[in-house]
Amino acid sequence: MERTRALPYLDTWFVAFVDHGRNLWWHRFTRRGFRHCFAFAFDPVGGCWIVFDPTLEGFTLRAVPGAAIDRLVTAVWAVDGRILKCRAEGRAPRRPRLFATCVTVIAHLLGVRGCAVRPDGLYRLLRRRGARPAFLRPRGDDGQDIRLVEGAAG
């Protein structure tokens, strides 16, 4: 039976890929720039951004204003991170939840079918499914402004 939704589903998410602030033992098996991932989306009903960050300590879920997202994007840029704009694919496939890593949790959030173990694998999987780079860092003297991606307010 399909669940009914009283509020609009957040179908557009931004997934950030960064190096984690700590040096953890499994980082030797990950690529630089792809050691952690988290997601954020604009909620038009609440008029704010929702940030979802799965970590070792648990999940952080926070509603923040647009100015906070500008700071978050700047922080991602500061560590040479990347951000993709993704469409949620609907209902998450049933999978065993033995390993709740940032990658598996974000894939579940987006309803992505497919298998990724590391953040760089999730990045490639999302790109193959049509995700596009978002919040691009201005380059040199080209005059590109820092601005939110179309359709996002805040």
Phi first, then psi, for residue 42 (nearest 5°) are -90, 130
Q: Please tell me whether residue 19 adopts helix, strand or coil conformation.
A: coil
* Among 77, 9, 74, 43, CA closest to 154: 43
Q: Kindly report, residue by residue over 98-123, the tens digit of the pLDDT.
A: 677 888 889 988 988 777 778 899 99
Question: How many other C-beta atoms are found inside a 10 Å radius of the C-beta of residue 119?
Answer: 27
The pTM assigned to this predicted structure is 0.78
Phi first, then psi, for residue 62 (nearest 5°) are -140, 140
Q: Kindly report, residue by residue over 118-138, the tens digit of the pLDDT.
A: 889 999 999 999 999 998 776
Q: How far apart are CA 139 and CA 24, in angstroms?
A: 32
